Amino acid sequence: MQANIFFEARDIVGESIIWSADEQALYWVDIGGKRIHRLEVETGRHDTWPTPDFPTSIAMRKNGGFILGLAREVCFWQPDETFRVFAIPEPDRPENRLNEGRVAVDGSFWVSTMQNNLHADGTPKEMTADTGAIYRIDPSGEINRMTPNEYGITNTMAWTRDHRFLFADTLANEIYSFAYDPETKAISNRCTIVGGFERGLPDGSCLDSDDHLWNCRVVGGAAVARFSADGILKDLVELPVSWPTSCTFGGTDLSTLYVTSARFTMTDEHLGAHPLEGSLLAIKTEFRGVEEPKFGY
């Protein structure tokens, strides 16, 4: 499998990419650039919208529009309209911010938090504690904390068909599997399925139709690793960017893997020598993805 530059986005931190089958378009966020992207893959039409705070995740709603994680708030949003606050997962933890966010198989929106690593101008801020947790937000607006506040940089959310929830802590360089109860919505019995993998650190992921996890290896990993749900490495795709961040399957048959990337913390010298950092990549695969659930019932 070969990765090609699909769009030179020049994202500071491209993240949370999703495929809209209805529009045949990709949506993703640039956290540091405070913007939302939309790209039609056939026509190449590209639109962006500014956000009032750092956007951390985006997902589709069943009734149209999007649910979006900002630094502190979860909002509803329509292109060219205002952001409407829907939920605030951690009103009592001002030192934290939201990070990963994804719609679960039951139509709820799950978001995770982390100690804020961004100054107001988007420059890096030192992290001193592991204070992140996972939250489930029901379409009614009810918020439930799913884990203790014990994670560093929270990334990756995926639900397998055999009721496992996959999650990662970038700083720990670990990917976890939890038992997921579709009746109670609870997760339990955490175990590490990937630990100490030597290519970078785990960032965002997506599942294919075989319940294999495609995991972006950030912080110099320059690759996407395909793991079984038990953590066995099956494939490793080399990339022409060093900080891949998030991925999704798209295209008419869901066989193209699209990958966002970042240029966060990189020096001017590095970017001068590697100007394609922060680009969107496309990888033609022999695999098929699964359609993203939409928020709501």
User: In this predicted model, what pLDDT tens digit does every residue of 98-108 receive, in sequence order?
Assistant: 999 999 999 99
pLDDT on residue 80: 87
pLDDT on residue 196: 93
The yes-or-no verdict on residue 139 having pLDDT over 90 is yes
List, edge to edge, every strand of the sheet that includes 154-159: 154-159, 164-169, 174-180, 187-195
pLDDT on residue 137: 98
Q: Are 130 and 171 in contact (CB under 8 A)?
A: yes
The yes-or-no verdict on residue 41 having pLDDT over 90 is yes
Q: Which helix (H) or strand (E) holds 269?
A: helix 268-273
User: What's the CA gap between 233 and 255, in Å, rounded?
Assistant: 20
Query: Within a domain: residue 16?
Result: yes
Query: Within a domain: residue 266?
Result: yes
**Mean pLDDT, range 248-271, rounded to an integer:** 95
The yes-or-no verdict on residue 46 having pLDDT over 90 is yes
Q: What is the pTM of this model?
A: 0.95
Number of domain units in the chain: 1
Provide the token pair at 159.
Answer: 């639900």
Arithmetic mean of pLDDT over the chain: 96
pLDDT on residue 262: 96
Q: Are 262 and 14 in contact (CB under 8 A)?
A: yes
Query: Within a domain: residue 291?
Result: no
The yes-or-no verdict on residue 70 having pLDDT over 80 is yes
Chain centroid to Cα 111, Å, comes to: 10
| The residue to which tokens 């699909």 are assigned | 6
User: What's the CA gap between 16 and 226, in Å, rounded?
Assistant: 18
- The CATH number for 188's domain is 2.120.10.30
Query: Within a domain: residue 293?
Result: no
pLDDT on residue 130: 97
Query: Within a domain: residue 292?
Result: no
Exposure on the CB side of residue 175, measured as CA atoms within 13 A: 31
Query: Within a domain: residue 296?
Result: no
Instruction: Specify the length of the chain in residues.
Output: 297
* Catalytic site residue from 138, 203, 210, 211: 203
DSSP summary character for residue 232: -
User: What's the CA gap between 283 and 249, in Å, rounded?
Assistant: 9
pLDDT band at 197 (very low <50, low <70, confident <90, very high): very high
Which domain covers residue 205, as residue numbers? Answer: 3-284
pLDDT on residue 106: 95
Query: Within a domain: residue 297?
Result: no
**Mean pLDDT, range 10-26, rounded to an integer:** 96
pLDDT on residue 66: 97
What are the phi and psi torsion angles at 189 (to 5°)?
55, 55
pLDDT on residue 172: 97
**Is residue 210 flagged as an active site residue?**
no
Query: Within a domain: residue 7?
Result: yes
Exposure on the CB side of residue 1, measured as CA atoms within 13 A: 22
pLDDT on residue 185: 95
Nearest to 223 by CA among 193, 209, 251, 203: 203
User: What's the CA gap between 174 and 155, in Å, rounded?
Assistant: 10
Read off the pLDDT of residues 107-136 as tens digits, 9 standing for 90 and up. Answer: 999 999 999 999 998 889 999 999 999 999
Report the DSSP beta bridge partners of residue 226: 214, 235
The yes-or-no verdict on residue 297 having pLDDT over 80 is no
The yes-or-no verdict on residue 261 having pLDDT over 80 is yes
Q: Which helix (H) or strand (E) holds 258?
A: strand 256-261
